């Protein structure tokens, strides 16, 4: 019988009583891995009620102690790095190197959460008026919710709950129904690190469970990562119910290649950045903009992409894995077919097989040339191993194209010119910019700063902005007249006044 994925509700691991069952499959074979029951409305309510109770105790735990739980958690995650990587590879089909990278990026956030006390420091001003001082404290919100996508099942939950918990909140995680076992393991390790067993709750499901959570009166904040339509729905619904919300959504990331860029560097970096992880990264490069003579690099790019093949994660030669599901594969194949009508297809990965895995969701590297901004393959997020080449005559034209795009997650420029690089980083309307770096993901002491249609909200994930998202500031102003202090002469301050002359100019 297929193993049941557990829920964690009210501090108890349980299989769930729901009858809506989802089968989680191995994307390299489409064979069942395990089953998960969608949480019932009663289970979701119980999770929120339990989290609310747990918060009242957890918020009083000294901040350094909460930080120490995160320190132990970071240590345990490192100890289990290989096993977690294997689990991510099994559920997503990613290569082992990629899967371990997914876990590592999350470990770095737990590391940052262990430093929470210094990130939660308030401010003080003495003597805002005579005998009056003001200070501010940074306090947790209460029950926070996280809804995560399939493509980084370790990193993205770890963007959320370590920081939220370190700040003193309770957390409810609803991971992707396509690969929820990684989340189970992450939460098990959190409890092993010493977190109270009811401070994080794990529920499963899809739209119904999400909608209940984001409209629940006892939920204060919602973090979401996923596609644009769902992100917009969650942002609208959560804010309509007066929640704080941060929603990280889809992307269409451009790389601009200037004629003076190093061709070998461009070609080798672009291959990994476009088809790595089967293009299922929100920071994948999906559009290459060749400026003037840089277009001469396109044939070499085609030849390098043609050498790359997907494969099973047990094969060290595999460049990347399968698409997450047959539905995702069908969608991408449909977009490739559309692209063949719209543009010139230099490399077509539609008909791709991997020896020993005939039923996997494989798609080979695919390259289009002559793409323009009105085409479907340019406008839609493909989320597959597909790269679109656009040719323009100047950096200004490239900037205009990128800035007119509704998304703004990441971009990069390859050039040897400091002036071109400076102009690009200054004028481009995208949140994360790489210069001679194709995927500029910031480390957790910065924030993950998507713009425009790639992000709805104001405070971003992790870093200082992450802490600000999961807390609110309380300002306290106090008056302590010296006459109240036994033994102090009330004329003391008067003496100071008598000797002081202040001239205002
Ligand atoms: P998705 O939007 O389909 O699902 C994300 C989460 O929302 C899942 O937990 C899912 O169960 C839930 N969900 C799905 N439909 C829902 C609905 N109608 N109402 C409420 N909840 C719903 O995304 P996905 O396919 O899992 O992930 C891929 C997408 O995520 C891509 O668009 C990618 O660009 C994006 N992404 C963005 C970032 C970023 O930082 N901007 C990072 C990773 C992935």
- Best substitution site from 153, 222, 227 to test ligand 1's pocket, by max atoms within 8 Å of Cβ? 227
d(CA 240, CA 250): 22
Which residues 6+ apart lie within 8 Å of 263 measured at CB? 297, 300
d(CA 297, CA 236): 44
Tell me if residue 477 falls in helix, strand or coil. Answer: strand
Please tell me the predicted confidence (pLDDT) of residue 493: 45
* Helices within 370-438 (DSSP H only): 376-379, 395-404, 418-427
DSSP 320: B
**Quick check: 495 pLDDT over 50?**
no
282 is catalytic: yes
- Could you say which of 282, 345, 352, 388 is catalytic? 282
Q: Give all domains of the chain, ordered by start, each with its CATH number.
A: 3-118+139-248 (3.40.605.10), 253-440 (3.40.309.10)
**Quick check: 207 pLDDT over 60?**
yes
Name which residue leads in pLDDT, 501 or 353: 353
Supply 257's token pair.
């290649």
Going by CA atoms, what residue is nearest to atom 20 of ligand 1? 207
Tell me the per-residue pLDDT of 393-409, one tens digit each, with 9 for 90 and over: 999 999 999 999 999 99
Supply 487's token pair.
């033994």
Cα 415 vs. chain centroid, distance in angstroms? 28
Model confidence, pTM:
0.94
Please tell me the predicted confidence (pLDDT) of residue 464: 87
Question: Which residues does ligand 1 sit against, CB inside 6 Å?
Answer: 147-152, 174, 176-177, 206-207, 210, 225-227, 230, 233, 248-251, 282, 381, 383, 409, 450, 454
Tell me the per-residue pLDDT of 417-468, one tens digit each, with 9 for 90 and over: 999 999 999 999 999 999 999 999 999 999 999 999 999 999 999 888 999 9
The region, left, alpha or beta by phi > 0 then psi within -120 to 50, assigned to residue 428 is beta
Tell me the per-residue pLDDT of 219-278, one tens digit each, with 9 for 90 and over: 999 999 999 999 999 999 999 999 999 999 999 999 999 999 999 999 999 999 999 999
Task: Using CA atoms of 263, 269, 275, 279 in order, give the dihedral in degrees to the nearest 10.
Answer: -130
**What are the distances in angstroms from CA 32 to CA 35, 179, 265?**
8, 12, 41
Tokens 């590297």, residue located: 365
Tell me the per-residue pLDDT of 50-88, one tens digit each, with 9 for 90 and over: 999 999 999 999 999 999 999 999 999 999 999 999 999
Supply 495's token pair.
């003496």
- The mean per-residue pLDDT over the stretch 88-100 comes to 98
The mean of the pLDDT values for the chain is 95
* Helices within 293-406 (DSSP H only): 298-306, 326-342, 376-379, 395-404
Measured in Å, residue 384 CA sits from the centre of ligand 1 at: 15
d(CA 256, CA 386): 17
Tokens 């977690």, residue located: 84
Tell me the per-residue pLDDT of 462-481, one tens digit each, with 9 for 90 and over: 888 999 999 999 999 999 77
Tell me the per-residue pLDDT of 172-183, one tens digit each, with 9 for 90 and over: 999 999 999 999
Please tell me the predicted confidence (pLDDT) of residue 496: 42
Which residues 6+ apart lie within 8 Å of 333 measured at CB? 350, 363
Measured in Å, residue 381 CA sits from the centre of ligand 1 at: 12
């Amino acid at each position: 019988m297929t193993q049941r994925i557990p829920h964690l509700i009210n501090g108890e691991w349980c299989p769930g009583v729901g009858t809506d069952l989802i089968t989680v499959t191995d994307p390299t074979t489409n064979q069942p891995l395990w089953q998960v029951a969608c949480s019932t409305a009663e289970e979701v309510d119980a999770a929120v009620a339990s989290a609310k109770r747990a918060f009242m105790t957890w918020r009083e735990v000294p901040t350094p102690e909460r930080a120490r739980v995160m320190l132990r958690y970071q240590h345990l995650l490192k100890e289990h790095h290989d096993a977690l990587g294997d689990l991510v590879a099994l559920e997503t089909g990613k290569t082992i190197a990629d899967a371990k990278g997914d876990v590592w990026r999350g470990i770095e956030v737990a590391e940052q959460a262990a430093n929470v006390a210094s990130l939660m420091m308030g401010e003080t001003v003495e003597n805002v008026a005579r005998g009056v001082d003001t200070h501010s404290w940074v306090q947790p919100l209460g029950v926070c919710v996280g809804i995560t996508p399939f493509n980084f099942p370790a990193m993205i939950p770890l963007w959320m709950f370590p920081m939220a918990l370190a700040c003193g909140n309770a957390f409810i995680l609803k991971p992707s129904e396509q690969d929820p076992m990684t989340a189970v393991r992450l939460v098990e390790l959190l409890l092993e690190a010493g977190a109270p067993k009811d401070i994080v709750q794990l529920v499963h499901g899809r739209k119904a469970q999400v909608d209940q959570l984001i409209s629940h009166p006892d939920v204060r904040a919602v973090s979401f990562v996923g596609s644009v339509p769902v992100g917009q729905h969650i942002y609208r619904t959560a804010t309509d119910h007066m929640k704080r919300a941060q929603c990280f959504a889809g992307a269409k990331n451009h790389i601009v290649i200037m004629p003076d860029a190093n061709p070998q560097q461009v070609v080798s970096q672009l291959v990994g950045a476009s088809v790595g992880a089967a293009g299922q990264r929100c920071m994948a490069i999906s559009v290459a903009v060749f400026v003037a003579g840089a277009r001469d690099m396109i044939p070499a790019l085609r030849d390098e992409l043609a050498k790359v093949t997907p494969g099973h994660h047990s094969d060290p030669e595999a460049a990347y894995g399968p698409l997450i599901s047959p539905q995702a594969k069908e969608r991408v194949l449909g977009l490739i077919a559309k692209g063949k009508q719209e543009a010139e297809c230099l490399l077509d990965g539609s008909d791709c097989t991997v020896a020993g895995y005939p039923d996997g969701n494989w798609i080979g590297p695919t390259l289009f040339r002559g793409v323009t901004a009105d085409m479907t393959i340019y406008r839609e997020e493909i989320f597959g191993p597909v790269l679109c080449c656009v040719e323009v005559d100047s950096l200004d034209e490239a900037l205009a194209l990128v800035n007119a795009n509704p998304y703004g997650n990441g971009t990069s420029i390859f050039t040897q010119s400091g002036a071109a690089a400076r102009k690009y980083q200054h004028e481009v309307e995208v949140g994360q910019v790489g210069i001679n770096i194709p995927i500029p993901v910031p480390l957790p002491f910065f924030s993950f700063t998507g713009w425009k249609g790639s992000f709805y909200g104001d405070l971003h994930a992790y870093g200082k902005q992450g802490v600000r998202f999961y807390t609110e500031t309380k300002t306290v102003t106090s008056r302590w007249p010296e006459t109240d202090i036994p033994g102090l002469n009330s004329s003391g301050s008067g003496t100071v006044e008598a000797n002081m002359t202040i001239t205002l100019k």
